[in-house]
Structure 1
Amino acid sequence: MFKTLRGRLIAIAVIIGVAGWQLYSHKTETGEWLKLGLDLQGGMHLVLEVDDPDSTMTADAKSDMIDRVDRIIRTRIDQFGVEEPLIQKVGGDRLIVELAGIDDEDRAKGIIQESAFLEFNLVLPTAEFDQALSRIDRSIVATLGVDSIRALGRDVVDESDDLENLLFGADSAATPDSAAADTTAAPEEDEAESIEDALRPFSSLLFTGDVEGTYFVAAEDRPVAEQFLAMDEVQRAYPRDQKLRWGADLVAQGARNYYRLYVLEEDAFLTGEELEDATAQRDPQFNQSQVQFQLSRAGGRQFARFSGSNVGNYLAIVLDNEVMSAPVIRDRIGARGQIEMGQGTPLEEARDLALVLRAGALPVRINIVEERTVGPSLGQDSIDQGTVAGMVGIAMVVVIMIVYYGMAGLLAVGALGVYVLLVLGGLAGLNATLTVPGIAGLILSIGMAVDANVLIFERIREELDHGRATRTAVDEGFEHALSAIVDANITTLITALILFQFGTGPVRGFAVTLSIGIVASFFSALFVTRSFFLAYLSGKKASDPISI
């Protein structure tokens, strides 16, 4: 078929039609012919790293963790609805995430970073923990000293002033109302209170909670309390098999705001590993966002046994070490439950929580070590500049080819038009993403396509100078230039494949466009240009000169 001019022209027409159809069929709703990358349509570039502040993890352990993080983040982003995200492992402990077209960067980062570790713990009475408060206070004073405690904002005096109180402690869990009582006390009472605070740095922060198993901590005192609770000495002073966890919501009491501090059983009786599904909805009765969850069959049986034996107790639903809600167990609970998100929480936040719960918990904390955001306007500027550069480049090529090679140059320009259509159709057909480096690769491959024509035309000129007939000179020119064109294109193609294999986002975009351009330029130079030459020569005699 390709031995005749008619067959060649039909083949070219079919290929042009297929390329045009690929472009048309992949046109997006926004009117774009090609899928644009992060640097063209805007979006977010993140580099994530495994959090290992103490350098205790081995390289193999980090690599395994980042592989697991990769799978979970892919699931989360797929459910988030980002089209064609780039997620790539770099080294042994880093992950590159590129999200094109993202409007809400903070929400996307929250979905990526949230650990989403779900636990169900029994809330315990505070009685046993009350008895441990004196031990906790003594451990803080012994570890930090009075001066350090004063630096944290606690009003303290010399620890020897009240040795008896230090040794034997006191019941200090007051109520929030008592904290707001009359402050016009005598100087002696103020001094006594300062001494008590000095020797009870932690317990003096606590007030009796409004729910069984809870304390209140004033919102402004929470940073100090968190610093105390992070101390190993304090955690060793906890009652056996008990732990403290903060509540997620602020509670208003009078003129002050408080956080709940829950006393929980140390071991969770159930975790999010048994969770099968989670959906967000709004409670029609209280207009409050909530997440309904469904447990597996085994998890449902375990939940039913536990709830049946703890009717009347409080159950803490803990997400990433924060108590989201702590409802009373009023009856035996099966495989379904719900997480209350708190008054005023947007439904979108509940949807995000449901999303990360479905995707699973991250096995390790991850940090964002690099972040870049590209705005849509900057991306449009890149498109405009790339378009101008491409048009100027093509215009210069057209002028030079026609001026220098005459009619042969015009035939090469026609083949170049076919080449551009083939490249764009190939990008659309492969669903490839066009990036700024990709535009550079496209422009570079245009030059390579012209370079192949230059080789052919120079060989034809040499054959004509040797006295060959026009048709013979054209055939010999294409044949003798073939090896040089093949060598140049194959070596460049190998380089492009290496860039694609080992490069990251923008580099891979360049490699994809360059590879498609190389294949298209090879076809257009050796097949399309030759077909056009045959059509040009078909109306001439063998001895007629040609414009080249």
Structure 2
Amino acid sequence: MLQIPLWNRILIILVLLAGISFAMPNMFYEQVERHNDAAAEIEATGVTSDAAAEALAGWPEFLPSTLVNLGLDLRGGAHLLAEVQVADVYEARMDALWPEVRDALRDLRDTVGTIRRSDAPPGELNIRVSQPEGLPEAVAAVRALAEPVVSLTGVGASTLDVSAQGDTLIVRLSEAERQATDDRTMQQSVEIVRRRVDEAGTREPTIQRQGADRILIQVPGIGSAQELKDLIGTTARLTFHPVVGRAGSADERPEARQIILPSVDEDGVFYILEQTPVVTGDDLVDSQPSFDQQSGQPVVTFRFNPHGARLFGEYTAANVGAPFAIVLDNEVISAPTIRQAITGGSGQISGNFTVESSTELAVLLRAGALPAEMTFLEERTIGPELGADSIAAGRIAAVVAFVAVLAFMILSYGLFGVFASVALILNVGLIFGVLSLIGATLTLPGIAGIVLTIGMAVDANVLVFERIREEMKNAKGPARAIELGYERALSAIIDANLTTFIIAVILFALGSGPVRGFSVTLGIGILTSVFTAIYVTRLFIVTWFDRARPKKIEV
């Protein structure tokens, strides 16, 4: 007999109601969006302004407030393709390694004589010794500083490649460590860019690694590509250097391992600094905008982790009365004199800050310094008007597809076609409900996936209805024909949709950007289409059949 258990019917109805309830906020997009923004603002600040309270009251709290996020091509925004200069990290690694190498070679002074660091290509550390006959022992001592490469491809390899040439010891990163460093640099760059964009409060940005050294950055709702570059393009690298002296211009030639940097606050003043910093912003754990208690001027406070606090405390304790420079992105922010040991691991950066600039600097420092410089290869700004046109075009395509499919089903299958058409409408609602629930981003290719799903959604119903027709021709009764139609069409429905779903999964795993947007909506559409065809349409037909009890059915 053609039956659906009561618990099964209740479960189907509950799934439909849940999907529609999660999809419904998208019909009042701007209203719900203002409500969500106000809720986020109140949660972040703890203060409820009149505007926030009004926006919060614009949508009932007991209703779902999840929305489908609109992608860059629908909302407008900025697109950047950046290239990370991963080779810059090699030079920084060598600078950081020099103190350890120097200490290791000092223990061999009787063997190698005096040691001196000499100029070397970027990413190399060259040390000249006065007694070349001691180089084999020096090579062994420096190799002892190496560690195993931390990567799957570099198992068993060492981080350093140490060799000797003439009277010079040459240290460089091994090839395996370079590959591992490149990978870590890219991961760190992607994460820091994501943090900086998130700090700015943007919605659903797309930040993905592309290839070996490139990052794709797409941020909906931002004004221009330049605004996005200003947000993420600054390395915000904070370092603390010993001050050697002052220079009249940047053209003076400093001694080896010294640099000349300009002062931000003092026009025409340049500082000569030791190139190797005492401590860097990598050891920062927090940074906040604040006000100086004496002058009332905006400042930026910072706090080091235990490692940075120890280095900072040891240096300031040993150099009381000496100046040191706070350097941000190769500019001296300030060069105060150390009046006492700073052992607390915290301090403040003062300068000609405004409230906005101090807040921006604190955000950049808190997000972390980019490990290497980024070069922008491609930039594009998409205006909101273009996004609105894309939405309108997608809406027209969906409506045309809807009307065509509904007309075909009703003309071909009569009342059963009406049931399939209602199920199709519910299917689209379920798609948007799932997209809202998982916080997916809808792009123009995603709309194409939904339109394609509309066309494919009735395939399962066509298989079932055609099978019912065949059973009716074999002189089966209406109830038996419907039951056999669903049973014998099920395997074909599963096979056809499973193969398409596998393709959607492959597109999601291997694709990026627009391809992923298409695969997400296509995959979700396949799942909801199978559900509505096997369960929802069948529920309609069985409910109608129980009430009408027809002796004959026309499919």
CA distance 1:363–1:541, shift in 2 (3 Å): closer
CA shift, 1:353, in A, is 1.8
1:545 aligns with 2:545: no
CA shift, 1:48, in A, is 2.2
Bigger shift: residues 521-530 or 457-466: 457-466
1:245 aligned partner: 261
1:504 aligned partner: 512
CA distance 1:283–1:103, shift in 2 (3 Å): farther
Partners in 1 of 2:392 and 2:214 — Cα distance? 34
Partners in 2 of 1:316 and 1:514 — Cα distance? 57
1:413 aligned partner: 421
Partners in 1 of 2:377 and 2:255 — Cα distance? 38
Partners in 1 of 2:300 and 2:226 — Cα distance? 21
2:270 aligned partner: 261
2:156 aligned partner: none
- When normalised by structure 1's length, the TM-score is 0.72
Contact kept in structure 1, 2:77 and 2:224, CA below 8 Å? no
CA shift, 1:53, in A, is 8.0
CA shift, 1:490, in A, is 0.3
Unaligned runs of 5+ in 2: 36-65, 89-121, 124-174
Partners in 1 of 2:347 and 2:293 — Cα distance? 16
Deviations 1:500-547 (A, max 9, x none): 1111122111111111110110011111111211122224446x2323
Partners in 2 of 1:480 and 1:250 — Cα distance? 85
1:35 aligned partner: 69
Report matched runs for 1:298-447 at 5 Å: 298-334=307-343, 335-342=345-352, 345-447=353-455
Unaligned runs of 5+ in 1: 126-212, 218-224, 252-258
Contact kept in structure 2, 1:5 and 1:535, CA below 8 Å? no
Contact kept in structure 2, 1:248 and 1:323, CA below 8 Å? yes
1:79 aligns with 2:199: yes
- Please tell me the residue identity of whatever aligns with 1:243: I
2:290 aligned partner: 281
Partners in 1 of 2:18 and 2:238 — Cα distance? 52
2:305 aligned partner: 296
Partners in 2 of 1:260 and 1:423 — Cα distance? 63
**Aligned mate of 2:537, from 520, 523, 529:** 529
Deviations 1:318-361 (A, max 9, x none): 1122111222334444433222342xx54333222212222322
Partners in 1 of 2:547 and 2:307 — Cα distance? 83
**Aligned mate of 1:470, from 478, 496, 520:** 478
1:450 aligns with 2:484: no
CA shift, 1:498, in A, is 0.6
CA shift, 1:286, in A, is 5.7
Larger radius of gyration: 1
Deviations 1:366-425 (A, max 9, x none): 222222322222222222221222122111211221122211111111111221221111
Partners in 2 of 1:429 and 1:318 — Cα distance? 46
Partners in 2 of 1:445 and 1:116 — Cα distance? 46
- Please tell me the residue identity of whatever aligns with 1:48: A
Deviations 1:104-150 (A, max 9, x none): 6434323323222221122223xxxxxxxxxxxxxxxxxxxxxxxxx
Partners in 2 of 1:391 and 1:24 — Cα distance? 18
CA distance 1:495–1:8, shift in 2 (3 Å): same
Partners in 1 of 2:390 and 2:227 — Cα distance? 26
CA distance 1:407–1:315, shift in 2 (3 Å): same
Q: Helix, strand or coil for the counterpart of 1:401?
A: helix
Contact kept in structure 2, 1:46 and 1:372, CA below 8 Å? yes
Contact kept in structure 1, 2:299 and 2:358, CA below 8 Å? yes
1:51 aligns with 2:85: yes
Q: Helix, strand or coil for the counterpart of 1:124?
A: strand
Q: Helix, strand or coil for the counterpart of 2:337?
A: coil
CA distance 1:469–1:301, shift in 2 (3 Å): closer
Partners in 1 of 2:3 and 2:413 — Cα distance? 26
Contact kept in structure 1, 2:504 and 2:522, CA below 8 Å? yes
Bigger shift: residues 110-119 or 303-312: 303-312
**Aligned mate of 2:521, from 513, 518, 529:** 513
CA distance 1:298–1:461, shift in 2 (3 Å): closer
Contact kept in structure 1, 2:86 and 2:213, CA below 8 Å? no
CA distance 1:373–1:302, shift in 2 (3 Å): same
Contact kept in structure 2, 1:38 and 1:101, CA below 8 Å? yes
2:213 aligned partner: 93
CA shift, 1:497, in A, is 0.4
Partners in 1 of 2:489 and 2:379 — Cα distance? 49
CA shift, 1:308, in A, is 4.5
1:272 aligned partner: 281
CA shift, 1:469, in A, is 2.2
Contact kept in structure 2, 1:120 and 1:317, CA below 8 Å? yes
CA shift, 1:491, in A, is 0.6
Partners in 2 of 1:346 and 1:455 — Cα distance? 69
Structure number with greater CO (CA < 8 Å, separation at least 6) is: 1
Contact kept in structure 1, 2:199 and 2:363, CA below 8 Å? yes
Q: Percent identity?
A: 41
Bigger shift: residues 90-99 or 439-448: 90-99
CA shift, 1:493, in A, is 0.2
- When normalised by structure 2's length, the TM-score is 0.71
CA shift, 1:3, in A, is 4.1
Q: Tell me the matched-pair count.
A: 433
CA distance 1:6–1:318, shift in 2 (3 Å): same
Partners in 2 of 1:380 and 1:288 — Cα distance? 44
CA shift, 1:7, in A, is 4.5
1:4 aligned partner: 4
2:17 aligned partner: 17
